[in-house]
Structure 1
Amino acid sequence: MPVRLLTIFSFFVFAASGLFGQSAGSVRLVSTRDKVDVLPGQIVNLAFFAENKTNTIQNLDAGMNAPSGWRLISPAKSFSLQSGERKFLIFSVQIPSVNPVGKFKVELSVNQVENGDVLDLVPVVVTVGEVEKIEMHLVESPQHIKAGEEFRSEFLLQNLGNTGKKVFIETRNCSVEGQAEIEIAPGQSIRFFATHPSSDAITETVKNYYTVRALVSGKVTESIFSSYTTFPVKEGKKDLYLRFPVEFGATYLASNQRGSYEHAYQFELSGSGSLDEKGKHRMEFLARGPNNTNLSFLGLYDQYFVSYANDNLELFAGEKSFSFTPLTESSRFGLGAESKVKFNNGLNFGFLYVKPRFYQEIDNEMAAFAGVEFNKKNNVGFYLVSKQLAASPEMTQLASLNSQFQPFSRTSVELEFSRGRFGETWDNAMRANLSSQFSVFNLAGNYYYTGKNYPGYYSNSTFYSGNFSVNLTPKLSLGIYAKEDFINAQLDTFFVTAPYSRSFQYMANYNLASRAYLKLYWRQYERKDRLALDKFHYKTNSINAQVIHRFNRLEYNILGEYGETTNFMLESGQNQQTMYRGSVNLAYRFNSKHAVRVFGSWSNVNRFISGDQQNFMAGMAVVSQLAKNLRANFHIQNAYNIEDYYRNRNLMQLNVDFTPVPRHKISLRSFYTLFRQETENPELTFSLNYAYKFGIPLKKIVDAGDLKGYVTRANHEPAEGIVVSFFNKTAITGKNGEFSFKAVPTGTHILYIDRSGLAIDEIPEIADQLSVEILEDETTELNFRIAKGARLRGSFEVQESALAILQKGEVKVQNIIVELKNEQEQFRITSEANGKFSFPLVRPGEWTFRVYTNSLPEGYELENPVVRINLEPGQDKHLELDLKPRKRNIIFKSDNKVLQPLKQLNNQPESRAAQQMEIEKESESHSDTFYSVQVGAFGSKKSNDATYFQEAPYDFEVQIGTLYKYFIGRFPKLGEAEKEKQKLEKIYKNAFVVKFENGRLAQ
C-alpha cells in the first residue's frame, strides 16, 4: 500500500512539473532595446516582440510596470497568438518633469488570460539624464520708497530641473537678505528678498537701478534688472544762483626721514566749471603751495595755473605738462602759456610757450601750429617748434606734420612726420599708429623711428609695440605680441623713468567656462636698468600659464612661469640659470561694502648680483565702507621686486575718508614707503587733509517761488504716500499728508497727481493735471482731498413704432457720441454695439451729460439730449435713454393744391410760402450732411490708446483707400466745426474741417 501511494504521488509531481515547464516557456518576450537614455518630461516608446512557442492558441494580457509617478500612456493589451506567431508590441511611458537623475527599471510582462500566470517578463533599464533649469522671477517690488526707508524686493527662485542645485545670488546696488547661497531641490520654489537702505538726508528725487543674478557653478542662469525711485522727505533749498564750483584744501604733512621728524603745511585752492548757464564759457584754476617735494611721497610740488575755454577759443597760463606732438615734445612740465583759436569750419591755429622746470638742459621752447578738424576722428595739423638750449646760443628748429583719420568704421590710423635741425645738421623722424578690427581679427600697434641727429623728444631710437590676435571660436583665440621701449629720450628729471624692456610672446586664450579663462603663452623678454645704480640687466625665455576665475564672491588669479634667464651682470658661462615663479591672487567680496584681497608669490630668478636669487612676497588689502560717511582701505606687503625700485613702493598704506557733513571731507593718509631709487630703509609718512567745496555766486538765474500743500482723505485724515509731480520734480506726501516744492521758477506750471498710490475707487477732488501759478518770492498753497469716485453708466433703448415693420434692418445703437463734462474736465465716449456706455471714474459734483443728436440712428430722436447730473461720492449711477421714432409731418401735393394734416387744418390756414418753408425746414433737419474735424491719417489702424490720441481721443474712423482717417465731432453747421478746429489746433497742428454727405467724405 505505501509503495502504491508513493507511485501515485510521484506521478502527480512530475506531471505538475511538466505543465509548469510548458507554461513558462510557452511565450517568449524580446525587447528591442535593453537600455534607454531619456530626459525628464520626455515620452519614451519601448518596443517588444511576443512569440508563441507552443502548438496551441495562447490568449494573453501584456502590461508594463513602471516606477511610481511615471505615467503609462499605452494601456494593457489583450491579444491572442497562434502557434508559432510573433507579434510586435509598443508601450509608451512619460517621465515626470522633475524625475531625479539615475537608472530605473521598467518591466513588461505577459500573463495567461485563463489563470493569470506570468509566462515571461523582460526588464529594460531607463537612464534619466540631468536637466539643469533654474528660473528666477521678480514677484513684487515697490516702484518708489521714501528717503530713510529700506527698499525691499521679493523674488521667486524655482528649480525646474531634476537635480538639487546650490544657487548663488549675486547683486548690484542691493543685498540679499540672509544667505546669498540657496540650496534648492528639484521642483522646489524658494522666495528670497533683496534689500537696500536709503539715507534720510536725500533732498532730491533719485532713480535707483539694481541687478539680481542667479549663478549656478559660477555661470549666470538668470538676470533681472529693475529700478525704483527714492523720494525725499525733506527738500533741500534750491540755489537760485549760478555758482562757480571751488574747493579749498589744507594738508598737514609729516615724515620720519633719516631718523628725524619733519612736518609742513600745504594749501590748495582749485576750481573748475562753467561761467554761464549754457556751459559755453568754462574756466579752471589751481593754486597749490608752498613746495613740499622734500617730504617725498606725500609732498607735492607747488603749482599755479588758470585756463579759459569756449567753443572757439582756448587759453592757458601757468604750470602744467605741455605737449606739442609725440615726436617733437611728448611731455614737458614747466611754466608757460598756450592759446588756440578754433573756427566753426574746423580750421584752428595757436601758439605755445614753455620754460621747463625739471629739465635744465632746455632754457625755453615755443611752437606755432595750425590744422583742420574734419570731424572728431579725422584731422591734420602742422607744428613749427623752436627750442633754446641752456648750453648753446643756437636754436633747435623742428617741423612736424601730424594726422589722424578713420578710413573704416573700426579702423583708425595716426601718422606723424617730422624734420629737425640743430646747427647745420638736419635729421628726420616718423611715427605710425594703427588700430583695426575686422571679422575675427584684431590688429593694434605703433612704430617710432627717430634719426641719429634728430633733436626732438626722442633721438637715435627705433621702438615699437604691436598686437595681433584672431578669435578662432567663441572660446579660443590666438595672438602675437611684440614690444621694444625707447632708448634716448629727453625726460624730465623729476619723473624717473622705467627700465628699458623688450619682449616678444605667443599666446593662446581659452574660455574654460563662464567667468573662467585660461591663458597660455611663451615669451622672451629683456629688462635693463636705466638709472645710475645699474641694478639689473637680464633676458628670459619662459613658458607661462595663467588661470583667472570669478566664482560667486570669490575671484582668483593663478600664474606659473618656468624658463631660463641670462644675467648680463655676471660673467659669461656663469650667467645662465633655470628660473621659476608662481603667484596667487585671491579676492573675496563679502558684500557691496566690504572686500578683502590676499596675494603672494615665490620665485627663483637669476636677474641680480646677489647670492640669494629666491624671493618670497606676500600681502593683503582690505576695503571697507564702515558707515555711510566713513570709508577705509588698508594695504600691506613684505617686499617688492627690485625692478620696481625706479618708483615709490608702499609696504604699508592706510587711507581713511570721513564726510561729517555734505561738502566737508577729512582724509587721513599713512604710508610706510620705499622711495625712488631706494632698496632698503623705508620711511613712515602721514598726512591729514581737510577739504571744503563751495560755490562762488556769479549771477541770479532763477526768479522763483514755493508750492506747498496738504492732501487729506474724505474723513479728513492725512493721505500718506501720494505721488505729486510739478515742474519736472516729484514729491511724495509724508505722514501728515504734506508735500512741497521749493524754488520753482515763476510762471504757470502743471501739477500732476499719480493715481497709482490710490485705491481703485479713489480719485483726487482736483484735476489730475492742474495749472498752478507760482509768484516770485511767494509760497503758493494748494490743499486737496482724496474722495471716493463716482461712475456714470447708461444704455440706449429703441422704442418701436407702428411703422417699425416698414424699416429695413435692425436699428444700430453703436457709436452714439455721449459727453460728460464740468468746468474743468470733459470726457467723450461712444456707445457699444448693444447701446451701452460707461464713463471712467470721475469726481463727485455737478456734471453736464450730453448726447450728440447728430450721431443718433436715422429717424430717431431723444427727448432730453442734455441733462445736468449731481454725482455723489461712491455713487454708481445708471441712465436709461429711450430713442423714440422722430415724428414727421406728411404733406400730400395734388396738382397745385397742398393737402395738409388734420392737425394743421384745425389751426389757422397758412400761406403757400409758409408751407414751402416748412417743407424746406423739415428736409434740412433730416439731411445726412454734417461737418467734422480731421486730426490724423495713417497707413495702419490706430486705437484711442495710441500716444497720438492721448490728449484728445478721436470720435470715429473712416478708411479711404489704404489710409485710415480719424475725425472729432459731428457738426450740422460749418461755423461750429471751425470753432472746434481752432481748439484742436493746440493739440493737432494740422487739423482741418471736412464735409460728409450721405455717409461719404465730400471734401
Structure 2
Amino acid sequence: MKNFVLKLIYALPVCLLGHTGIANYDFDTTMSNHNNITRHTKLENPYDTKSDSLKDKRKTTDKAIALNIKIKNSKKNYLPGQKHTLALELELEGENAMIFNIEPKLPKDWKLISSDKISELSPGKSKIVLLSFFIPANTSPGTEIITLKLTDKSGKHLRSEDFKIVVAENYKLEVFLISNPESVKAGEEIITIFGIRNTGNVLQEIQISSNGLLSEIDMPLVKPDSLITITSSRPTNAKHYYLITLSTYLEVTGTNINESLKSYANTTVFPSKIKQREAFFRFPIRASFNYNSYTAKDILFSTISAELAGDGYLDEKKQHHLNFLLRAPQQQTLKRFGVTDQYSLIYDYKNQTTIYLGDHAYFINRLGFDNRYGMGFRIDQRVKRWIFTAFYSNPRLFSYNDTPLYGVQAKYAVTKKLQLGISLSESKGTIRGVSNKIDANPDEQGQIATVSLDYKSKNTHLETELSGSFTNLYTDYAGFINYSQSYKKFTYSGNLTLTGENYFGSIRNSLQYANNLFYKNKKWNASIGHIVSRVNQRLNPLFYAAEPYYENSYALLGYRFNQKHFVTIRVDQRKREDQLEPKSYFYKEKGITYRYLFSGERFNFSFNGRLAKTRNLLSATSNYRDSYAHSFNASYLIDSGLSIRVGLNHNYNNRYGLSNLSTSYTRYSLGINYSMSKAIRINASYNSGFSPEDTYLRRDFLNANISYKPSKNHLFEIRANYYENAGSVNRRELLAFGKYTYSFGAPIKRILEQGGIDGKLYSIHSDFESENIKIIAAGQRITSKKNGSFRLNNLPLGTNYIFLDHATLPEGFVEAKKAPYEVVVTQNKIADLNIELVKAATVRGKIMKIISRDTLGYKGYIKLNNEDFEYAVESDVAGNFIFKNIVPGNYKIALSNTSIESEYQIPTTLNVQVAPGEEENVDIRLKTKDRKIKFKTTNFNLSN
C-alpha cells in the first residue's frame, strides 16, 4: 500500500507535464529500510543522439527509462563533528545512455567536501558516486534532509530527491586550562581557572572534582556550544620552608562520558621563609619534669622527678647509635606509680657490637631465671654467623629477688632459617613469691644450662629449648617446644612446656601444652583445639598475681560475609581454678559462644554472647546451673578528629564464691577521643567495673588524658585515674600525673659553614622610594634602608632564594625580573645582589568577531606571556579586557580556548610591546574561517 501511494504522488506531476507539451519524465520511487535507502526513477532521455527533434524525444516516452539510486553504506545515525561519505549506487534501466549530474543541497551550516560527477551512464550498468560532507559538532540531534538535485549537462533542473539523515547525539566535552599562576608565595592561594566547553549537541549534566576548593555553579549543566568556567582555589602552607611544585587538577565526569576528562596546572610555591639549614650535626635529647600524686581518704602523697633521655646517631654515617635514660632522684614512693629511678645506656656500633650499661632487665631464655632488674652490663658481639653474649645484673630496688645474676650465651646461624644456641647462667634462689606451689629457696644456688633451636621458613616454625639446672640442693630438667606448620589451607600449631618439681628456673613444677588445627577457605574458617595449663612461676607479688590453672577444649566456625560483616560460633568445655588464697573461683563450664563483628569506615560494632552450664566446685552442691553473658561494644568516628565508644556487658552465673548462688552484674563503659588540632589531643573513658575473675568486688574508675604540643620542642601531658579500691569501704582514690618535655638537639659537629649577601634595590625612575621594602631569605625578614641597601648574614652555603614582599613595594612599581633571585653563598664571602624595580605597565584591548558585515564582542580568556612572565584575564561580553601592573617588555597574546581556532581566523602575529608606566591598546579581530577539508580517497568495501 505504501509503495502504491508513493507511485501515485510521483505520477501526478508527470501527468500534468504531459498535457503541457513538455518532455514527459516519469519518476517511480521506492524506499527500503534505513540500511538500504533506494530511489527508483524512470526518466526519458532527452539527449538520445538518435532523435533530432523534441517530437522524436517525446516518442521515446513510450519506452520509459528507470533510474535506481541506492545508498550502499547507509548508517543508523551519523555522529556530528566528523566527516561522512555516502556511497550512492546509480543504475540505469532501459535502452539509452544518459548524461546528467547530481548537485547535493545540505542542511544549514553543513560543509560540502566533495561530490563526484556522473558523466555518462549506460543502460543496465551501475556506478558508484561518492558524496562527502562535514556535520558541525553542534548540530542538534534528529532527522535532517539531504536533497539531491538532478540536472542535465547544461544545468537544467530535472528532479530533486530527498534523503533522511539521522544526526546522533554527541556527548563531547572539552576541558582545558584557562589561567594559572606560575608561582606563588607560601601561604598564598593558588587560583586556577578551568574551562568546560560542550562541543556536542545535547545538554549535559556533569560532575566535577578537584584537589582544590571549587567555585559554586548554579547547576552542573552545560548547554550545547557553550562554555562555563570553574575556579579552583588551593591553599598553601605558610610554614612550608622548601621550594615545591604543586599540581592542581579538574576532573569532569558525566552520565554519557565513557572516561573522565582532566586538565592539570602546575604552580611553583616559593617559601616566604626558607628554613634555616642546621649548621651542626645534633644528637636528639628529651628533658622531662614529672609529677605524680596519690589522694585517698586519709592519705596524700606526691613525688617529683626529672629525666633526661636521648636516642639517636652520634655520627653522619650512622655507625654509632646511643640510647640513654637518666631518671632521678631515688624515691620509694615512686614504686607506687609503677616507676623508679633509672640510669641506663645502650650503645650500638654498626649493628655488630651492642653494649648495655646500668639498669636493665635481662631475659636470656624462656626457661631461665626470672628477670632481675638492676645495675649491670650486657655485651652482644656479632662475629660472622656467631653472636656472643655476656651479662651481669645486680638488683638494687626490690627485696623479693636481690641476688646477682650473670651468665654467657652463644648463638650460631647455620642457615638463614636455622639458628642454634647455648647458654649458661648462675644465681641464687628467692624468697617465696605469689605461687603457693613453689617453696622459697633463698639458700639454693647454682647454674642453668640451656640449648636452643630456632627454625623459620615460609610454612614451618620450630622453636625449642632444653634446660638443666644444677644447684647445691637439686638437679632437675625442663623443656619447651613451640611448633607450627602450614599446608595448603590448614595450619597446625602446638606447644609444650614441662619443668621438674625441683627445677631452678623461674617456671617450676609446671605443665602446659596446647594443640590447635586451623582451616581457612575463602570466607570460611574453622579451628579445633585443646589447652592445658598448670604453670607455677616465680613472680614478685608487688606487681603480679598467680596465674590460674585452666583446661579448655573447643571448636570454632567463622564466616566473613564481606569486609564489613563477620560471625563466629564456638563451643567449648573448660575448667578454671584460682591459685590465690583464699580462692575466688573454681568451676567447670560447658557452653556456646557466638560473636558478630561489623567494621565500617566510621562505625564499628561487635556483639558477643554466651550460653553455658556452670558447676561451682567451691560449693557443697555439685549440680550444673544456667549461666549466660552478653556484651556489645561500638565506636563511631564523627569526623577526622572526634570519635566516641560505648560498651555494655551483662553476666549471670554461679562461678564465684562458696554459696553457689547465681549472681547478676552489669558493667558499662563510655569513651571519647578528640583531636582539637595537631597540637591538642584528649582521651577520656569511664568504666563501671571489671571482671570478677580478677576480683569479685566492684570497682568504678574514670581515666582522662590530655596532651598539648604547641611546637616540635614542647610537650605537655596530664593524666588522671579516679577509682574505688577493691576490697575496701569508702576507699576512693585518685592518681594524677603531669609531665612536661622539652626536646632539643645537642650539637656534636659543625657540618655547615655560612656566609652573607650585600644587596641593593634601585630604579631608573626618580620617584622610586626604596626604604622599608621587606626582603625575605633563609628564615630572615629584613627591610631596606633609605638608599635601598640591605645586608643578609648567617646564610647557609650554597643556593639561597631571595625575594621581596610585594605588599611593601611602592605603588605602581614591580620587579623587573622574575622572582625569586638565586644567589650562591660561599664560605667567608659576601655575595652581591642588585634588584631593579620599574614602573608597571598596562595593556588594554578588545576582541571582535567579524561575521559577514557585523562586528560582535567576544567573551573569553586572554593570555599575555613572554619567557619570564605570564598573565591572564577575561574579557567582558563586549570583548573588552585590561592587564594591569604588568612588567614592561615584549609579550605574545593568545586566546585560551582551543575550539575557537577551528571556527575563526586568528591573526598570526599577536604581539605587544609596552614601556614602563605606559599603556598600550590592542585589538584582536576574529574572522569566520572557511572550512577547507581535503578529501582523501577511501577504498569502500560495499556489499549488497
Q: Residue 141 of structure 2 aligns with which residue?
A: none
1:429 to 463, 470, 478: 478
Query: Are residue 479 (structure 1) and residue 545 (structure 2) matched?
Result: no
Change (3 A) 1:511 1:669: same
Q: Residue 775 of structure 1 aligns with which residue?
A: 827
Change (3 A) 1:771 1:515: same
Q: Deviations over 1:654-685 (max 9, x none)?
A: 11112234311222111113568879834112
Q: Residue 654 of structure 2 aligns with which residue?
A: 606
Query: Are residue 663 (structure 1) and residue 713 (structure 2) matched?
Result: yes
**Structure 1 residues 188-207: aligned runs within 5 Å:** 200-203=238-241
Change (3 A) 1:178 1:320: farther
Residue 647 of structure 1 deviates from its aligned partner by 13
Query: Are residue 389 (structure 1) and residue 439 (structure 2) matched?
Result: no
Residue 343 of structure 1 deviates from its aligned partner by 2.2
Aligned counterparts of 1:767 and 1:149: Cα–Cα separation in 2: 15
1:280 to 295, 304, 319: 319
Q: Residue 546 of structure 1 aligns with which residue?
A: 595
Residue 527 of structure 2 aligns to which amino acid in structure 1? G
**Structure 1 residues 242-261: aligned runs within 5 Å:** 242-261=281-300
Residue 536 of structure 2 aligns to which amino acid in structure 1? N
Aligned counterparts of 1:587 and 1:322: Cα–Cα separation in 2: 42
8 A contact 2:823–2:831 mirrored in 1: no
Aligned counterparts of 2:234 and 2:498: Cα–Cα separation in 1: 56
1:700 to 740, 743, 750: 750
Change (3 A) 1:203 1:698: same
Q: Alignment partner of 2:693: what SS?
A: helix
Q: Residue 371 of structure 1 aligns with which residue?
A: 411
2:461 to 400, 409, 412: 412
8 A contact 1:648–1:673 mirrored in 2: no
Residue 385 of structure 1 deviates from its aligned partner by 0.8
1:640 to 679, 690, 713: 690
Q: Residue 265 of structure 1 aligns with which residue?
A: 304
Q: Deviations over 1:178-230 (max 9, x none)?
A: 99xxx99xxxxx999999977644546799999x99xxxxxxxx9x9x99998
Query: Are residue 289 (structure 1) and residue 328 (structure 2) matched?
Result: yes
Change (3 A) 1:257 1:781: farther
1:513 to 562, 571, 589: 562
Aligned counterparts of 2:232 and 2:460: Cα–Cα separation in 1: 44
Identity of aligned residues (%): 21
Change (3 A) 1:303 1:386: same
8 A contact 1:634–1:655 mirrored in 2: yes
Give the TM-score, by structure 1 length. 0.52
Aligned counterparts of 2:365 and 2:267: Cα–Cα separation in 1: 49
Q: Deviations over 1:882-930 (max 9, x none)?
A: xxxxxxxxxxxxxxxxxxxxxxxxxxxxxxxxxxxxxxxxxxxxxxxxx
Residue 236 of structure 1 deviates from its aligned partner by 3.4
Q: Deviations over 1:28-62 (max 9, x none)?
A: xxxxxxxxxxxxxxxxxxxxxxxxxxxxxxxxx99
Query: Are residue 336 (structure 1) and residue 340 (structure 2) matched?
Result: no
Aligned counterparts of 1:768 and 1:197: Cα–Cα separation in 2: 20
Residue 367 of structure 1 deviates from its aligned partner by 0.7
2:629 to 560, 580, 599: 580
Change (3 A) 1:444 1:650: farther
Aligned counterparts of 2:420 and 2:276: Cα–Cα separation in 1: 49
Residue 348 of structure 1 deviates from its aligned partner by 2.8
Residue 698 of structure 1 deviates from its aligned partner by 2.0
Residue 331 of structure 1 deviates from its aligned partner by 3.2
1:236 to 275, 297, 318: 275
Q: Alignment partner of 2:544: what SS?
A: coil
1:451 to 497, 500, 510: 500
Q: Deviations over 1:282-327 (max 9, x none)?
A: 2222222345564776462222222322133222222222111111
Q: Alignment partner of 1:775: what SS?
A: coil
Aligned counterparts of 1:575 and 1:502: Cα–Cα separation in 2: 18
2:509 to 448, 457, 460: 460
Q: Residue 596 of structure 1 aligns with which residue?
A: 644
Change (3 A) 1:875 1:147: closer
Residue 591 of structure 2 aligns to which amino acid in structure 1? S
Residue 643 of structure 2 aligns to which amino acid in structure 1? A
- The count of residues paired between Structure 1 and Structure 2 equals 636
Residue 414 of structure 1 deviates from its aligned partner by 2.1
Residue 586 of structure 1 aligns to which amino acid in structure 2? S
Aligned counterparts of 1:378 and 1:139: Cα–Cα separation in 2: 65
Q: Alignment partner of 2:366: what SS?
A: coil
Residue 234 of structure 1 deviates from its aligned partner by 1.8
Higher deviation after alignment, 294-303 or 457-466: 294-303
8 A contact 1:446–1:464 mirrored in 2: yes
Residue 558 of structure 1 deviates from its aligned partner by 1.8
Aligned counterparts of 1:139 and 1:497: Cα–Cα separation in 2: 73
Change (3 A) 1:457 1:565: same
Change (3 A) 1:751 1:175: closer
Q: Which has the higher contact order (CA 8 A, sep 6+)?
A: 2
Q: Alignment partner of 1:322: what SS?
A: coil
Query: Are residue 495 (structure 1) and residue 543 (structure 2) matched?
Result: yes
**Structure 1 residues 830-841: aligned runs within 5 Å:** none
Residue 276 of structure 2 aligns to which amino acid in structure 1? K
Q: Residue 364 of structure 2 aligns with which residue?
A: 324
Change (3 A) 1:266 1:766: closer
Residue 383 of structure 1 deviates from its aligned partner by 0.6
Residue 619 of structure 1 deviates from its aligned partner by 1.7
Aligned counterparts of 2:390 and 2:727: Cα–Cα separation in 1: 40
8 A contact 2:603–2:634 mirrored in 1: no
Higher deviation after alignment, 239-248 or 441-450: 441-450
1:523 to 569, 572, 575: 572
Residue 739 of structure 1 deviates from its aligned partner by 15
8 A contact 2:293–2:735 mirrored in 1: yes
Q: Residue 570 of structure 1 aligns with which residue?
A: 619
Q: Deviations over 1:324-368 (max 9, x none)?
A: 111113533233221222224544343333437446256222111
8 A contact 2:454–2:464 mirrored in 1: yes
Q: Alignment partner of 1:603: what SS?
A: strand
Residue 294 of structure 2 aligns to which amino acid in structure 1? S
Residue 413 of structure 1 aligns to which amino acid in structure 2? L
8 A contact 2:372–2:393 mirrored in 1: no
Gaps of at least 5 residues in structure 1 are 1-60, 64-72, 77-92, 95-137, 157-166, 185-189, 214-221, 719-723, 754-762, 788-840, 845-871, 877-1003
Q: Residue 605 of structure 2 aligns with which residue?
A: 556
Change (3 A) 1:151 1:752: closer
Change (3 A) 1:463 1:239: same
Residue 272 of structure 1 deviates from its aligned partner by 1.8
Q: Deviations over 1:416-459 (max 9, x none)?
A: 22121223632222222335555333444443222222211212
Q: Residue 860 of structure 2 aligns with which residue?
A: none
What root-mean-square deviation, in Å, do the aligned CA atoms of Structure 1 and Structure 2 show?
6.2
Residue 369 of structure 1 deviates from its aligned partner by 1.5
Change (3 A) 1:769 1:629: closer
Residue 875 of structure 1 deviates from its aligned partner by 8.3
Residue 571 of structure 2 aligns to which amino acid in structure 1? W
Q: Residue 353 of structure 2 aligns with which residue?
A: 313
**Structure 1 residues 810-821: aligned runs within 5 Å:** none
Gaps of at least 5 residues in structure 2 are 1-30, 38-75, 78-176, 196-206, 222-227, 252-259, 431-440, 771-775, 803-814, 839-865, 870-887, 893-944
